[in-house]
């Protein structure tokens, strides 16, 4: 079901009620996670809450940066936070920022700026905008551009990971093992002259597809296992495991952040496309979450991956190929997981917090993860045992 | 029979000659001189004290590694009176065959040259030099018109030549019949059988831990993996080439592989090595060679389309263009059956004073050559180190895969080994495939020539190349090829054409190399 249809299904006006044997592939207010501005809002709120309750997760370092929860680049809403943004911008005037329209996808409408003059129109007291009301000015988010991405073969890339959520409360989510890296076809350069060249900076396949060098055999995509092999060989096993652990951590935290506000309708499940960028210090950053990740394929390998993805997703969401019953306990048996593995299961984490059935294979999640000491002591960040 | 004493002293003399004047030699001298200031060095026992000092400071180890490296690379001298061509290749008919093959390649290159009216080598104009320097890190984005260039030869052309090799002294008196002309290779070289291979590759046995088998997710790491990693770290700490070579027979942990391979190949990336690479780079900038276009074409046809290696396209140019200009590679021709092609300055044909080797390193690339470099990009991201590792791998192993010789690791022996293993242990399969016109070697040849690069998944390929380094031999390629056929035997028995057989064996990317090898060598009922 598309996002628009979901809006209709759940809208108060239509009065449509889903019956027990109907399961849909979106949560009614998924946009809390998938709209760029709301995601950032929710994460900021979540962090403040944890800080208020004194949770060790919200610990900050000497510069006031969160140690464990700093995974979204500094972001502001425009035009609402314009002045806050200007203050931040002036602290680092040579930095580059990326402007993204809140409601669009596939890289549409994105551009980079490195001068305040380039975003004059979003200034709240802008004299040029005369009497345009706030709502008709399209909402944008502006984030600090990560200009030191990890490069492989001199090329920039980002990670696309698929995460299936079957319920938010208790949180139960699965990560697809076969994510992929999307490479830019043109060599990355932070030089300002190339700021306008979208082929250098944006990794969306929708954009790269039109570059001269786009290759239809591999589609500029690498499997995550290739990435892992490369990083282990060139950087070592510990830092690679740490990186992957941090990526899992980010995903779970982002889901936890929106869990309280999500309408946990029992008819719903959702498969999100997470976009993550790794910088050259091997720190992962969450860029955005997509509600309708592209299920079209650009290469033969891609088609197989997407086919399996859909297959495995449906196997988890609707067990045994039977008529679905939304009242089931949403705990699929291990065999149907396919290429998914359990990322976090809140129920299991709470019930047997001491049950560590993991053998020590960091970074290769098998079975229950997240037996994290939520209420006692410091969380072990690097290993999920 | 060779007097072992004599052989040993000849070898020692040769190693001394090779290492004399090398940078290691001058470093050792410098270290010895520096040590004179140390209190523990006393005049009365000068020689012993200096020796002790070199031992404790790790310099003796470096010398040991250098000597070990020389022993690995150069063959044992057969006889003090043996002429140099015997060191290259003892069998006369092989030398002749290699010579005529080379003539053919050179002719093809020259005709391409005249056809396209491009000189073999040309100095670049200044603005072009500047442009290339700017573009050095992204030559992949260049789109020169390569449509008129063709690779000089492809593996299947080479196979045709090997099939026609005959030993003129060999007359077995029988009519060519089914029994003695089963396979494509018709020369009587000695190849090992499974009992001998089992002995040689004993570390791959069933009761010995292996990476690639005993590190899978179902096996607790305490059984083997953790200890193996610990031992590997120790080997690296000791910086001992010989120990490293023994260690990698059981596979390298991914995090240690880059350093272990560098240790075995005795590559240390000293400042002078980096300088040498920079010099090669400036040679590339200044002169344009015809082979450059061949390299571009090859990369664009192979690595750029590969799921694993497309990312490293630019590194491949940086390595291969420099490789073509590296005259130090010419040294390997003393023990290779091949001879570098010569070219003459325009107008001075036949006059030796005006002869140069072309390309400067004497190696003409063929279709798929760039795949030798591609897997190494997963291990080394620093261009000069990547370059040196590749060069050393080439002059130790890869050159044997595209020259005609009787060496046990040469491609001819590998082909014969493959065919013999298959005939002996899977006779029904072999017979069937031959009957339908699908000679097994026609399918496996390309795997072996490329050392399986581009056919296996990268992590599996690296496990395979671990063993090549560990055993200092390419025979494992033939064993793996036979093991693959054994694995897919059931499907292959059902096909009825060469095309169908190719289809069954088209995709090796899901294969796990080590279990296949282990089963074939140690668990097949013979």
Size of interface A-B (CB pairs under 8 A): 69
Query: In this structure, is residue A251 part of a structural domain?
Result: yes
Task: Give dist(CA A293, CA A160) in Å, integer.
Answer: 9
Q: Which of A259-263, A380-384, B229-233 has the highest mean pLDDT?
A: B229-233
Question: Does the pLDDT value for residue B502 go beyond 90?
Answer: yes
Report d(CA B241, CA B508) in Å as an integer: 32
Give CA torsion, residues B72, B78, B83, B87, to 10 deg. -30
pLDDT value of residue B275:
93
Can you tell me the mean pLDDT for A214-223?
75
pLDDT confidence bin for A213, thresholds 50/70/90: low
Angle in degrees, 0-180, between the axes of helices B271-286 and B313-324, rounded to the nearest 10: 90
Most confident of the following: B114-123, B199-208, B252-261: B252-261
Mean pLDDT of B403-431: 92
pLDDT at site A193: 56
Phi, psi dihedral angles at B119 (to 5 degrees): -70, 155
Report the pLDDT averaged over residues B121-139.
84
Peptide bond into B138 cis (omega under 30): no
> pTM of the full predicted structure?
0.86
How does DSSP classify residue A213? T
What's the total number of domains in chain A? 1
Which residues of chain B make contact with A220, given a CB cutoff of 8 A?
A: 310
Per the CB < 8 Å rule, is B137 touching A187? Answer: yes
Tell me what the mean pLDDT of segment B476-491 comes to. Answer: 95
Q: Distance from A221 to chain B by nearest Cα, in Å?
A: 8
Least confident of B45-49, B243-247, B352-356: B352-356
Residue A119 lies in a domain: no
A184, A233, A341, best to mutate vs chain B, most B CBs in 10 Å: A233
Q: Which residue has the higher pLDDT, A282 or B353?
A: A282
Structure tokens that stand for B118 in this block: 């491009």
- pLDDT attached to residue A329: 67
For residue B294, give Cα distances in angstroms to B144, B324, B361. Answer: 11, 11, 15
Of the candidate ranges A22-26, B361-365, B374-378, the one whose mean pLDDT is the lowest: A22-26
Give the C-alpha separation, A16 to A12, whole Å. Answer: 8
At A276, which CATH number? 3.30.470.20
Report if residue A307 sits inside a domain.
yes
Lowest mean pLDDT among B213-222, B265-274, B320-329, B442-451: B213-222
Q: Is the pLDDT of residue A76 over 80?
A: yes
Does any domain span residue A38?
no
**A289-293, B410-414, B476-480: the lowest-pLDDT one:** A289-293
At residue A188, the pLDDT reads 60
Q: What is the mean pLDDT of chain B?
A: 86
Chain A's closest residue to B375, CA to CA, is A230
In the prediction, which pLDDT does B346 show? 63
pLDDT, greater one: A81 or B450: B450
User: What is the pLDDT at residue A377?
Assistant: 27
Of all residues in chain B, the percent with pLDDT exceeding 90 is: 40
Q: Angle CA(B268)–CA(B271)–CA(B276) in degrees, nearest 5? A: 95
**pLDDT value at position B183?**
82
Q: Which of B163, B65, B182, B45 is nearest to B445 (CA)?
A: B163
- Tell me the chain B residues in contact with residue A187 when contact means C-beta distances shorter than 8 Å: 137-138, 141, 314
Which residue would you say has higher pLDDT here, B206 or B520?
Answer: B520
B135-168 residue pLDDT tens: 888 887 776 777 778 888 888 889 999 988 888 8
Lowest-confidence range among A133-147, B51-65, B456-470? Answer: A133-147
Instruction: Return all residues near A295 (Cβ < 8 A) that are at least 6 apart.
Output: A306, A309, A310
Once rounded to an integer, what is the mean pLDDT over residues A157-179? 89
Q: What tokens does B507 get?
A: 């995709």
Give the structural domain span for A301: 17-33+149-354
Among B215, B236, B310, B373, the residue to mutate for chain A (most A Cβ within 10 A): B310
pLDDT at A88: 85
Q: For residue A355, count other CB atoms closer than 10 A to its CB.
A: 12
pLDDT at A11 over 70: no
DSSP 8-state secondary structure symbol assigned to residue A268: B
> How buried is residue A150: exposed, middle or buried, by Cβ count under 10 Å (0-12/13-18/19+)?
buried
pLDDT attached to residue B386: 95
Indicate if the pLDDT at residue A106 is higher than 60: yes
pLDDT band at A380 (very low <50, low <70, confident <90, very high): very low
For residue A381, pLDDT beyond 50: no
Mean pLDDT of B448-459: 94
Q: What does the pLDDT read at residue B322?
A: 94
In the prediction, which pLDDT does A187 show? 60
Q: What is the rounded (10 degree) CA torsion for B439, B441, B445, B451?
A: 140
Examine the pLDDT at A144 and tell me if it is beyond 50: yes
- Domain assignment present for residue A63? The answer is no
Smallest Cβ–Cβ distance between A215 and the set B141, B310, B379 belongs to: B310
Q: Using DSSP, state whether A164 is helix, strand or coil.
A: strand
The mean pLDDT of chain A is 75
The predicted structure's pLDDT at residue A92: 81
Report whether pLDDT(A90) > 50. yes
Domain assignment of residue A55, yes or no: no
Give the pLDDT mean for B268-286: 90
Predicted local confidence at residue B215, as pLDDT: 79
Query: Is 50 exceeded by the pLDDT of residue B371?
Result: yes
Provide the pLDDT for residue A364. 36
Residues of B with CB below 8 A from A153's CB? 311-315, 377
| Mean pLDDT along residues A38-66 | 83
Instruction: Choose, out of A150, A153, A223, the residue to mutate when testing the contact with B (most B CBs < 10 Å).
Output: A153
Is residue A237 scored above 70 in pLDDT? Answer: yes
Please, are residues B464 and B404 in contact by the beta-carbon 8 Å criterion? no
Residue A61 lies in a domain: no
Closest by CA position to A175, among listed A183, A185, A165: A165
The residue behind tokens 């786009």 is: A214
Average pLDDT over residues B201-221: 83
Q: What number is the ipTM of this complex?
A: 0.87
B314 → closest Cβ in A154, A225, A301: A154
pLDDT at B197 over 80: yes
Q: First and final CA of chain B: distance in angstroms?
A: 35
Query: Residue B317 — pLDDT band, cuts 50, 70, 90?
Result: very high
Of the ranges A166-175, B52-61, B68-77, B352-361, the best mean pLDDT one: A166-175
B378 and A233 within 8 Å at the Cβ level: the answer is yes
When pLDDT is cut at 50, 70 and 90, the band that residue A129 belongs to is very low
- SS3 sequence, B135-196? CHHHHHHCCCCCCCCCCCCCHHHHHHHHHCCCCCCCCCCCCCCCCCCCCCCCCCCCCCCHHH
Mean pLDDT across the stretch B21-34? 82
Q: pLDDT tens digit string along B59-110? A: 888 888 888 888 887 766 666 677 777 778 888 888 899 999 999 988 888 8
Cα dihedral value A217, A221, A223, A228, nearest 10: 130
Residue A121 covered by a domain: no
| Phi, psi for residue A30 in degrees, rounded to 5 | -60, -20
pLDDT in tens, A322-367: 666 666 666 777 777 778 888 888 877 777 654 433 322 333 333 3
Residue B220 distance to chain A (closest CA, Å): 7
- Given a contact cutoff of 8 angstroms between Cβ atoms, the answer to whether A141 and A78 are in contact is yes
Please answer yes or no on whether B379 and A234 come within 8 Å at the CB atom.
Answer: yes
Name the strand (E) or helix (H) holding B113. Answer: helix B92-116
**pLDDT tens-digit series, residues B171-186:** 666 666 555 567 888 8
Characterize B186-219 residue by residue with b for buried, 16 or more Cβ atoms within 10 angstroms of its Cβ, and e for exposed.
bbebebbebeebeebbebbeeeebbbbbbbeeee
The contact set of A with B (CB < 8 A) is 152-155, 183, 186-187, 212-213, 215, 217-218, 220, 222-223, 225-226, 229-230, 232-234, 236-237, 301, 359-361, 364, 366
Q: For residue B398, what pLDDT is reported?
A: 95
For an interface test with A, which of B299, B307, B382 has the most A Cβ atoms less than 10 Å from its Cβ?
Answer: B307
The predicted-structure confidence for B245-263, as pLDDT tens digits, reads as follows 999 999 999 999 999 999 9
- Check whether A115 has a pLDDT greater than 80: no
- Closest by CA position to B293, among listed B120, B115, B454, B131: B120
- Annotate A201-222 with b (16+ C-beta within 10 A) or e (fewer): bbbbbebbeebebbbeebbbbb
């Amino acid at each position: 079901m598309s996002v628009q249809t979901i809006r209709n299904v759940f809208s108060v006006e239509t009065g449509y009620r889903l019956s027990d044997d109907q399961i849909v592939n979106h949560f009614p207010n998924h946009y809390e996670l998938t709209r760029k501005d709301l995601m950032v809002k929710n994460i900021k709120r979540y962090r403040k809450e944890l800080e208020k309750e004194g949770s060790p997760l919200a610990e900050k370092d000497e510069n006031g940066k969160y140690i464990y929860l700093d995974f979204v680049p500094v972001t502001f809403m425009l035009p609402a936070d314009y002045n806050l943004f200007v203050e931040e911008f002036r602290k680092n005037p040579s930095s580059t920022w990326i402007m993204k329209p809140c409601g669009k996808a596939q890289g549409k409408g994105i551009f980079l700026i490195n001068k305040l003059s380039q975003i004059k129109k979003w200034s709240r007291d802008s004299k040029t905008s005369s009497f345009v009301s706030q709502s008709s000015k399209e909402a944008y988010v502006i984030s600090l551009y990560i200009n030191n991405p990890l490069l492989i073969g001199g090329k920039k890339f980002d990670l696309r990971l698929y995460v299936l959520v079957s319920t938010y409360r208790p949180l139960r989510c699965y990560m697809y093992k076969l994510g992929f890296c999307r490479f830019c076809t043109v060599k990355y350069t932070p030089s300002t002259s190339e700021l306008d060249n979208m082929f250098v900076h944006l990794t969306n396949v929708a954009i790269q597809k039109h570059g001269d060098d786009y290759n239809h055999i591999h589609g500029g995509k690498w499997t995550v296992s290739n990435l892992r092999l490369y990083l282990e060989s060139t950087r070592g096993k510990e830092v690679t495991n740490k990186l992957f652990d941090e990526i899992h951590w980010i995903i779970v935290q982002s889901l936890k952040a929106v869990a309280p506000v999500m309408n946990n309708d029992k008819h719903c499940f959702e498969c999100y496309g997470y976009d993550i960028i790794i910088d050259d210090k091997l720190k992962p950053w969450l860029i955005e979450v997509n509600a309708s990740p592209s299920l079209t394929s650009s290469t033969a390998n891609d088609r197989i991956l997407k086919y399996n993805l859909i297959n495995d997703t449906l196997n988890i969401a609707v067990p045994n190929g039977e008529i679905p019953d939304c009242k089931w306990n949403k705990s699929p048996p291990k065999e149907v997981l396919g290429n998914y593995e359990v990322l976090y299961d809140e129920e299991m984490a709470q019930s047997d917090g001491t049950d560590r059935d993991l053998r020590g294979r960091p970074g290769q999640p098998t079975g229950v993860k997240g037996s994290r000491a939520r209420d006692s002591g410091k969380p072990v960040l690097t290993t999920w045992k | 029979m060779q007097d072992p004493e004599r052989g040993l002293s000849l070898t020692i003399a040769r190693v001394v000659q090779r290492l004399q004047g090398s940078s290691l030699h001058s470093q050792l001298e410098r270290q010895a001189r520096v040590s004179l200031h140390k209190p523990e060095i006393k005049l009365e026992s000068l020689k012993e004290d200096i020796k002790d000092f070199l031992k404790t400071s790790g310099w003796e180890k470096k010398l040991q590694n250098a000597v070990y490296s020389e022993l690995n690379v150069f063959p044992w001298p057969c006889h003090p009176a043996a002429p140099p061509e015997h060191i290259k290749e003892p069998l006369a008919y092989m030398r002749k065959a290699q010579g005529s093959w080379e003539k053919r390649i050179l002719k093809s290159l020259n005709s391409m040259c005249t056809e396209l009216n491009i000189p073999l080598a040309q100095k670049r104009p200044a603005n072009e030099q500047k442009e290339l320097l700017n573009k050095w890190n992204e030559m992949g984005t260049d789109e020169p018109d390569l449509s008129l260039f063709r690779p000089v030869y492809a593996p299947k052309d080479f196979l045709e030549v090997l099939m026609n090799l005959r030993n003129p002294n060999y007359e077995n008196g029988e009519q060519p019949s089914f029994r003695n002309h089963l396979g494509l290779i018709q020369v009587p070289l000695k190849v090992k059988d499974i009992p001998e291979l089992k002995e040689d590759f004993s570390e791959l046995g069933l009761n010995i831990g292996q990476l690639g088998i005993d590190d899978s997710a179902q096996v607790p790491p305490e059984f083997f993996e953790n200890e193996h990693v610990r031992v590997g770290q120790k080997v690296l700490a000791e910086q001992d080439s010989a120990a490293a070579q023994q260690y990698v027979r059981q596979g390298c942990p991914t995090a240690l592989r880059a350093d272990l391979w560098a240790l075995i190949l005795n590559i240390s990336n000293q400042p002078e090595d980096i300088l040498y690479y920079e010099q090669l780079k400036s040679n590339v900038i200044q002169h344009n060679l015809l082979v450059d276009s061949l390299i571009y074409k090859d990369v664009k046809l192979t690595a750029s389309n590969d799921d694993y290696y497309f990312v490293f396209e630019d590194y491949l140019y940086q390595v291969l263009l420099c490789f073509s200009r590296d005259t130090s590679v010419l040294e390997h021709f003393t023990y290779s059956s091949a001879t570098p092609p010569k070219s003459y300055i325009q107008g001075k044909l036949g006059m030796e004073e005006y002869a140069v080797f072309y390309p400067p390193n004497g190696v003409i690339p063929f279709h798929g050559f760039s795949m030798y470099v591609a897997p190494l990009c997963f291990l080394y991201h620093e261009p000069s180190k990547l370059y040196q590792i590749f060069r050393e791998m080439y002059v130790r192993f890869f050159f044997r895969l595209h020259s005609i010789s009787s060496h046990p690791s040469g491609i001819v022996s590998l082909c014969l080994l493959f065919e013999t293993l298959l005939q002996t242990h899977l006779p029904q399969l072999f017979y069937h495939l031959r009957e339908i016109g699908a000679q097994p070697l026609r399918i496996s040849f390309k795997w072996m020539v490329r050392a399986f690069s581009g056919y296996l998944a990268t992590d599996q390929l690296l496990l395979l190349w671990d063993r090549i380094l560990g055993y200092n031999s390419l025979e494992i390629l033939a064993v793996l090829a036979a093991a693959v056929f054994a694995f897919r035997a059931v499907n292959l028995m059902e096909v009825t054409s060469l095309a169908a057989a190719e289809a069954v064996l088209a995709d090796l990317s899901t294969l796990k190399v080590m279990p296949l090898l282990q089963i074939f060598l140690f668990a097949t009922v013979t």
